[in-house]
């Protein structure tokens, strides 16, 4: 309907309302409705009163200050209910206040009762009531709507709208330019719906060319399939001008698809008369010349009612296909919405069945994630964060490399230029220099801060631990010498019982920080997997945290055993490493005194270096303490290599794999059928039960689906 906005752009005097017109919303109604529209004082209230048989107080003009919706419903019991529907521009607080207004339980609607209700409504809407003058900050009109619902066994399902009358000139102290625009917006909102019959009320004593409502109706209803002209006040036209009005009724001027009907309004002296008296007066009037020459089907209120009934039937028939499509769409939407809520979880059995099904799905997902069988589940294919085995192995490799690069406090004196330690294939991080590792440590700390915000429930496990700074320029032999001299006792120079544990603890001090950060990261991987996999349902949070604590406590135990226990190993690689250390040291010493060797022709011999015995003896001469310090260094380095590999394997196998991933007590095993079976009714309702809002939403959807299905069946859709 964009062309409507363009064509009638200049009809809205106020710029604020011009902008609003493009964002108008449809007023949702129960189906086909009648909208009584026209100029002010055109006789709309009289027409509406004759159709609805409600005593509208026309003198006060109240009904023309806001839209009034009259809903008729067939019901076994007679009742009247009055409410207020807030306008689209009301803020929430004001809208809630208006929605709270309800007049229920009424059985009749007399003039004085109706007038009293309208006075209350005006006060709530903030517009002047009967006999009141317009305040400086008040508007004469309101965008809110009064809804009157009339139920009874004699009522037909129908909705009628009385819309404020159009006017073009503001009255000082009464109306403004904004009011002119607001009335047009209210009218447009209610008559643009294709299921609304436009009842265009036109006074017979005015020039038809000045009636703006016909132009508007022609734009909104170009085929004229829902517009009916109603001529009022025929008793007020000047003598000799009757033929102009009769030409309209006979379709000779300004023809409409459904034409015009003409009715007679009650005069001021007849306001107290009942509908029967009014009908008799009207019949008498139209039985006289020249009105008696008109088609009886176009004259009088009964003819208007029959014409409206025919239009309603025709419009309803035309709308059937659209209604069927709309019902099907709404039914599909409601079913999808209901399906998105999952199965009902009101009873204990329903809750337990749901959790058992979810537990099976979760365990299947966890098994595929741990076995790296990602192809078995679409969510594992599409969600890299759920590929737990891959993420865990990558973190294990990083941990092993971190322990190797960052675990020792001071570099050993073995020298990289001699015989390098034989290594297995490790990730790139193992060969990174310390600056790169430090940068990655900063990045890991930033990621840890993000995880703290995401998962506050495991805050205690997500933290960075302080590491002992390494002295890159210091000599480990000097350090061992200092520690040796602090710990030696009586007797010949030998390794005292306390020296090796002391320097071992200092050299492996950083193991704890690197290891706890690794376990913390693995806990985050497991927790992130659990939260993502369970989506909206998570098992008892305390049990998960308890499993994480058990893993960390076990890791602390392993660290304490390695770091504070007796340095001990039965691994034969210790002796092999010790011999390699001594051999490397001897090789370095001999290489310092090696001389080139020549044959008898004076040619240099490759791989034939000569070391003189006296130089060897001289270089090997050192004090007992120096020999002991070198022995301690070689023992420490040999043991460190064996212990480091043993420690990394133990942490990965026990702390990570057994406690957090694949072990029977893993957090990933908590949410299983045995867990669900052990839940009490209170726990079931706490975990799987629906909250009040969800239960009400489910009930509303089920009710709406039932009503739509009945409507679909009724329409034969």
Q: How many CB atoms lie within 10 A of CB 321?
A: 11
What pLDDT sits at residue 429? 40
Q: How crowded is residue 404: how many other Cβ atoms within 10 Å of its Cβ? A: 20
What is the rounded CA–CA span in Å between residue 316 and residue 310?
10
Q: Cα(189)–Cα(714) distance, rounded to whole angstroms?
A: 30
- CA-to-CA distance for 567 and 379, rounded, in angstroms? 47
Please give the tally of structural domains in the chain. 2
Question: Is 118 part of any domain?
Answer: yes
**How many angstroms separate the CA atoms of 635 and 611, rounded?**
27
In a domain, 605, yes or no: no
3-state secondary structure 484-536: HHHHCCCCCCCCCCCHHHHHHHHHCCCHHHHHHHHHHHHHHHHHHHHHHHHCC
Burial of 384 (0-12, 13-18, 19+ CB in 10 A): exposed
Residues 288, 422, single domain; the answer is no
Domain that holds residue 219: 2-25+33-299
Which helix (H) or strand (E) segment holds residue 712: the answer is helix 692-715
pLDDT in the model for residue 440: 56
| DSSP summary character for residue 16 | H
Sequence-ordered list of residues with C-beta below 8 angstroms from that of 288, at least 6 positions apart, any chain:
none
Residue 607 domain-assigned (yes or no): no
Q: Are the beta carbons of 75 and 155 closer than 8 angstroms?
A: yes
Please report the pLDDT score of residue 577 as a whole number.
75
Longest dimension (CA), the chain: 156
- The reply to whether 213 falls in a domain is yes
Three-state secondary structure of 337-389 = HHHHCCCCCCCHHHHHHHHHHHHHHHHHHHHHHHCCCHHHCHHHHHCHHHCHH
The size of the chain, in residues, is: 717
What pLDDT does residue 270 have? 64
Task: Tell me how far the alpha carbon of residue 318 is from its chain's centroid.
Answer: 39
Q: How far is CA 518 from CA 113, 129, 153, 194, 398, in A?
A: 78, 75, 76, 66, 9
Mark which of 299, 332, 360 sits at the end of a domain: 299
Residues 508 and 645 in one domain: yes
CB-CB neighbours of 293 under 10 Å: 11
Task: For residues 691 and 698, give the distance between their C-alpha atoms in angstroms, rounded to a whole number.
Answer: 11
- How far CA 506 is from CA of 502, 635, 640, in Å, comes to 7, 15, 12
Strands 102-106 and 79-85: antiparallel
pTM for the whole structure: 0.49
Least Cα distance to 359 among 676, 625, 118 occurs for 676
Domain shared by 292 and 408, yes or no: no
For residues 566 and 502, the answer to whether their CB atoms sit within 8 Å is no
Distance CA 221, CA 548 (A): 70
341 found inside a domain: no
Residue 15: what pLDDT? 39
| Angle, in degrees to the nearest 10, between helices 301-340 and 275-286 | 130
- pLDDT at 490 (0 to 100): 64
Nearest to 63 by CA among 165, 132, 178: 165
CB 232 within 8 A of CB 211: no
Q: For strands 604-610 and 595-598, give the pairing.
A: antiparallel
Same domain for 218 and 83?
A: yes
Backbone angles phi, psi at 34, to 5 degrees: -105, 135
pLDDT digits (tens, 9 = 90+) for 434-471: 455 555 555 665 666 666 677 777 777 877 777 777 66
Instruction: Looking at the structure, tell me whether residues 73 and 219 fall in a common domain.
Output: yes
Contacts of 701 by beta carbon, 8 Å cutoff, 6+ apart? 334, 337, 338, 341
Q: Say how many C-beta atoms besides its own lie within 10 A of residue 127's C-beta.
A: 20
Same-domain pairing of 284 and 413:
no
Burial class (CB in 10 A: 0-12, 13-18, 19+), 359: buried
Backbone dihedral angles phi then psi of residue 373, each to the nearest 5 degrees: -95, 65
Run of H or E residues at 394: helix 388-406
Q: Measuring CA to CA, how many Å separate 363 from each of 359, 541, 646, 687? A: 6, 17, 32, 18
Verify that 292 and 411 share a domain, yes or no.
no
Sheet holding 79-85, edge to edge: 102-106, 79-85, 145-152, 67-74, 158-162, 33-38, 196-203, 227-232, 260-262
Tokens representing 421 are 């330690």
Instruction: Report the SS3 class of residue 2.
Output: helix
The string of DSSP codes covering 167-234 is: -SS--TTT--HHHHHHHHHHHHHHH-STTEEEEEEEETTS-GGG-HHHHHHHHHSTT-TTEEEEEE-G
Q: With a cut of 70, which residues of the chain have pLDDT below it?
A: 1-31, 55-63, 130-138, 267-273, 414-452, 470-472, 489-497, 535-544, 585-625, 715-717
Return the DSSP state at 133. P
How many C-beta atoms lie closer than 10 Å to residue 508's C-beta?
Answer: 23
> What's the distance, Cα to Cα, between the start and end of the chain in Å?
28
116/236 same-domain check: yes
Joined tokens for residue 568: 């001990």
Distance of CA 158 to the CA centre of its chain: 38
Question: Does residue 609 lie in a domain region?
Answer: no
pLDDT of residue 428: 41
CA 344 from chain centre, in angstroms, equals: 22
User: If you ran DSSP here, which 8-state letter would residue 470 be given?
Assistant: P
Domain boundary among 280, 299, 318: 299
Judge if 291 and 411 occupy the same domain: no
Kindly state whether residue 207 falls inside one of the protein's structural domains: yes
Round to whole Å and give the CA distance between 454 and 472.
Answer: 38
Is 654:554 a contact under the CB 8 Å cutoff? yes
In a domain, 659, yes or no: yes
The 3-class secondary structure across 413-454, one letter per residue, is CCCCCCCCCCCCCCCHHHHCCHHHHHHHHHHHHHHHHHHHHH
Instruction: Tell me whether the omega of the peptide bond preceding residue 371 falls within 30 degrees of 0, making it cis.
Output: no
Q: Which residue has the tokens 């903030």?
A: 126
Q: Which two tokens stand for residue 455?
A: 């998962």
SS3 607: strand
In this prediction, residue 228 carries a pLDDT of: 93
Last residue of a domain, one of 269, 299, 329: 299
Tell me the CATH number at 45: 3.40.50.300
Q: Which of 426, 369, 383 is nearest to 403 (CA)?
A: 426
Q: How many degrees, rounded to 5, is the angle at CA 110 between CA 107 and CA 113?
A: 90
């Amino acid at each position: 309907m964009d062309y409507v906005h363009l064509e009638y752009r200049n009809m809205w005097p106020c710029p604020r309302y011009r902008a609003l017109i493009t964002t108008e919303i449809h007023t949702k109604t129960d189906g086909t409705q009648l909208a009584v529209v026209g100029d002010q004082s055109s006789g709309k209230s009289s027409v509406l009163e004759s159709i609805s048989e409600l005593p509208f107080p026309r003198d006060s003009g109240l009904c023309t200050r806001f839209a009034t919706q009259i809903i008729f419903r067939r019901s076994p019991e007679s009742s009247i209910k009055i409410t207020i529907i807030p306008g689209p521009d009301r803020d929430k607080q004001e809208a809630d206040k208006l929605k709270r207004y309800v007049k229920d339980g009424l059985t009749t609607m007399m003039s004085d009762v109706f007038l009293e209700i309208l006075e209350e409504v005006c006060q709530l809407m903030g517009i002047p009531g009967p006999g009141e003058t317009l305040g400086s900050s008040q508007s004469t009109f309101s965008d809110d709507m009064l809804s009157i619902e009339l139920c009874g066994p004699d009522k037909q399902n129908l909705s009628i709208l009385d819309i404020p009358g159009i006017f073009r000139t503001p009255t000082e102290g009464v109306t403004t330019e904004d009011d002119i625009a607001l009335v047009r917006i209210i009218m447009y909102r209610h008559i643009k719906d294709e299921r609304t019959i436009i009842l265009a009320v036109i006074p017979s004593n005015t020039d038809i060319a000045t009636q703006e409502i016909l132009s508007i109706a022609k734009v909104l209803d170009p085929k004229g399939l829902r517009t009916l002209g109603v001529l009022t006040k025929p008793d007020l036209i000047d003598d000799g001008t009757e033929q102009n009005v009769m030409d309209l009724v006979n379709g000779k001027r300004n023809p409409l698809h459904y034409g015009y009907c003409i009715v007679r309004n009650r005069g001021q002296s007849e306001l107290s008369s009942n509908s029967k008296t009014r009908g008799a007066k009207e019949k008498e009037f139209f039985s006289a010349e020249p009105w008696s020459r008109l088609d009886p089907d176009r004259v009088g209120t009964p003819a208007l009612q029959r014409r409206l009934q025919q239009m309603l039937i025709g419009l309803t028939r035309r709308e059937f296909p659209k209604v069927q499509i709309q019902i099907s769409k709404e039914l599909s939407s409601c079913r999808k919405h209901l399906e998105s809520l999952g199965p009902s979880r009101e009873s204990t059995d329903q809750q337990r069945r749901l959790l058992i099904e979810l537990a099976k799905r979760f365990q299947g997902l966890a098994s595929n994630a741990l076995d790296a069988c990602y192809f078995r589940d679409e969510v594992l294919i599409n969600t890299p964060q759920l590929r737990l085995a891959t993420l865990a192995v990558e973190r294990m490799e990083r941990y092993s490399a971190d322990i190797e690069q960052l675990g020792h406090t001071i570099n050993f004196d073995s020298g990289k230029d001699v015989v390098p330690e034989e290594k297995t294939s490790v990730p790139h991080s193992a060969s990174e220099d310390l600056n790169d590792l430090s940068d990655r440590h900063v990045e890991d700390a930033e990621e840890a801060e993000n995880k703290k915000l995401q998962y506050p429930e495991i805050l205690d496990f997500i933290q960075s631990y302080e590491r002992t700074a390494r002295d890159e320029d210091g000599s480990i032999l000097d350090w061992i010498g200092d520690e040796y001299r602090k710990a030696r006792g009586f007797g010949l120079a030998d390794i005292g019982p306390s020296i090796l544990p002391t320097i071992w603890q200092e050299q492996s001090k950083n193991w704890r920080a690197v290891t706890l950060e690794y376990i913390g990261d693995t806990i985050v991987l497991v927790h992130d997997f659990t939260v993502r996999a369970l989506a909206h349902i998570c098992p008892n949070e305390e049990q998960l945290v308890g499993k994480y604590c058990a893993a960390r406590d076990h890791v602390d135990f392993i660290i304490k055993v390695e770091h504070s226990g007796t340095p001990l190993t039965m691994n034969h690689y210790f002796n092999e490493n010790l011999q390699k250390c001594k051999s490397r040291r001897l090789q370095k010493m001999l290489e310092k005194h090696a001389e080139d060797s020549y044959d008898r022709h004076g040619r240099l011999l490759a791989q034939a270096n000569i070391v003189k015995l006296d130089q060897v003896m001289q270089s090997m001469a050192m004090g007992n303490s120096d020999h002991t310090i070198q022995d301690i260094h070689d023992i420490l380095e040999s043991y460190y290599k064996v212990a480091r590999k043993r420690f990394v394997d133990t942490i990965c196998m026990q702390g990570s794999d057994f406690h957090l991933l694949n072990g029977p007590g893993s957090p990933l095993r908590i949410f299983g059928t045995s867990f669900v079976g052990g839940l009490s009714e209170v726990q079931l309702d706490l975990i799987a039960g629906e909250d009040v809002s969800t239960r009400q939403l489910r009930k509303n959807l089920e009710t709406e689906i039932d009503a739509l299905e009945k409507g679909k069946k009724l329409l034969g859709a």
